[in-house]
Amino acid sequence: MTDSASSSTGVPWRSPTVQVVLASTALAPLGVPLVSPGLSVLRDVFGLTDAATSLLISSYFLVGIVLSPFIGLLSDRIGRKRTLVAGLLTFGVLGGAMAFAPSFEIVLALRIGQGTGAAAIFITTVTIISETFEGTQRNTVLGVNVAVLSAAAAVFPVLGGILVTAAWNAPFLTYFAAVPVALFAAVALDEPTRTPADRGVAYLRAALDAVATPATLSLFGVTFLTEFLAFGVVFTAIPFLLARIVSPVLVGLALFAAEGVSMVVAASSGRLVERFANERLVGVGFACYGVGFLTVWIAPSFLVITAGLVVVGAGIGILLPAIDAALSGRVPPEYRAGAFSLRNSTTFLGRSSGPIVFVGLAITVGLGYERLLLAAGVVAVGVAALALSTAE
């Protein structure tokens, strides 16, 4: 550890490591929540279908599914700092370039490249926290990291709704903010102390062996489902539903409410884990998903839909730090970068497939978003019951 003692439980706000990680994490919601309220505008500008427009979200994660394990390997070879700086620059430069793209095909190509930078940011920030902090403090810092993520994700949908009303490409200009953060990381970040491990393919094999236990593999399963439902329902299906009755700004406000609650709940992660095991918190998080989705399904008005999203937001705030903390505790330190790179592939798989599956089933198959909300709620309640019944 470089910034704190393992006995500490608070957040060392003056630590350059914490400042760099939180600044990097704050940029992550520029990827999807900023763009989500303007999906209908982008659809109309480029003359697309709902399914084609949803590729703007799913394509962002496609490369990360395949490359995340190799980004983890690269991080072990050249260090967390260089990997994070490179990821921030890629994210910012390619993302900002989308504002000047002459066609939707070029937007998608840049979006795929930007997703590679996003994968590097996701992997290195969580790995740095896991290597720098231990015990309850690790939960606390992971929770604050998710809280920052949620706070930014609460603001960016509103900002995105406002910007896309002014011009379809205005939201993409905000991606250039990653460039000064990359410079800050290059100057201020200390390389975490790491335990030596195997290199190359041998490292990936050892990392796979480290996670190949039923308990650890189950964490990858709940990671996938957490992201699949969040990005399929919250950031794709519900915005399309709300676009029928309200403006993009109000869509952004509804997502703002959900992310705001997620921020508050995630910031309490350290206190929650002192009373409940991480595995039990996973069950509670999915219970929030189920109640929230079913509330949106029966909602008679925009306000009730927003209330359902608030409950889902609480579930996100519980799930994300609990899953990462549980994974950190189950994997040897020397293989955490590999484990989190594999977790990131799982995360990106859920995020990319969620929008495609939900839009495809709703429009192509004709099930409609309402029936899918019901199905998502039932699945979430079932997972919650299973997790709570098997938690230690």
Q: Render pLDDT for 277-297 as a digit per residue (tens, 0 to 9).
A: 888 899 999 999 999 999 999
pLDDT at 7: 43
Higher pLDDT: 377 or 147? It is 377
CATH number assigned to the domain comprising residue 181 = 1.20.1250.20
Q: How far apart are CA 324 and CA 343, in angstroms?
A: 9
Q: How many CB atoms lie within 10 A of CB 170?
A: 16
CA atoms within 13 A on the CB side of 304: 10
In a domain, 332, yes or no: yes
74 pLDDT above the threshold of 70? yes
Higher pLDDT: 353 or 14? It is 353
Answer whether 153's CB lies under 8 Å from 33's CB. Answer: yes
In a domain, 4, yes or no: no
CA atoms within 13 A on the CB side of 259: 25
In a domain, 9, yes or no: no
- Average of per-residue pLDDT across 253-275: 82
In a domain, 176, yes or no: yes
Helices of type H across 28-103: 39-46, 50-78, 80-97
CA atoms within 13 A on the CB side of 349: 17
In a domain, 130, yes or no: yes
Q: How far apart are CA 61 and CA 58, in angstroms?
A: 6
Answer whether 175's CB lies under 8 Å from 28's CB. Answer: no
198 pLDDT above the threshold of 60? no
Q: Which residues of 70-107 are buried (b: 16+ CB within 10 A; e: fewer)?
A: ebbbbbbeebbbbbbbbbbbbbbbbbbbbbebeebeeb
pLDDT interval class at 209 (50, 70, 90)? confident
In a domain, 6, yes or no: no
How many residues are given for the chain? 392
Q: How many CB atoms lie within 10 A of CB 66?
A: 13
pLDDT interval class at 197 (50, 70, 90)? low
Read off the amino acid at residue 330. Answer: R
Query: What does pLDDT average to over the chain?
Result: 84
Share of the chain above pLDDT 90, in %: 25
pLDDT interval class at 177 (50, 70, 90)? very high
- Average of per-residue pLDDT across 72-87: 85
In a domain, 101, yes or no: yes
DSSP letter string, 252-275: HHHHHHHHHHHHHHHHTHHHHHHH
328 pLDDT above the threshold of 70? yes
pLDDT at 9: 59
Q: How far apart are CA 180 and CA 142, in angstroms?
A: 23
Q: Phi, psi (5° rounding) for residue 76? A: -75, -25
Contacts with 235 (C-beta within 8 Å, 6 or more apart), sequence order: 32, 33, 36, 57, 255, 355
Domain that holds residue 283: 16-390
Answer whether 380's CB lies under 8 Å from 318's CB. Answer: no
Output DSSP code: residue 190.
P
320 pLDDT above the threshold of 70? yes
pLDDT interval class at 313 (50, 70, 90)? very high
Number of domains composing the chain = 1
39 pLDDT above the threshold of 90? no
In a domain, 135, yes or no: yes
56-70, 82-96, 116-130, 218-232, range with the lowest pLDDT: 56-70
Coil, strand or helix: which one is 301?
Answer: coil
386 pLDDT above the threshold of 50? yes
- Among residues 233, 224, 284, 206, the alpha carbon closest in space to that of 54 is found at 233
Answer whether 38's CB lies under 8 Å from 235's CB. Answer: no
pLDDT at 377: 94
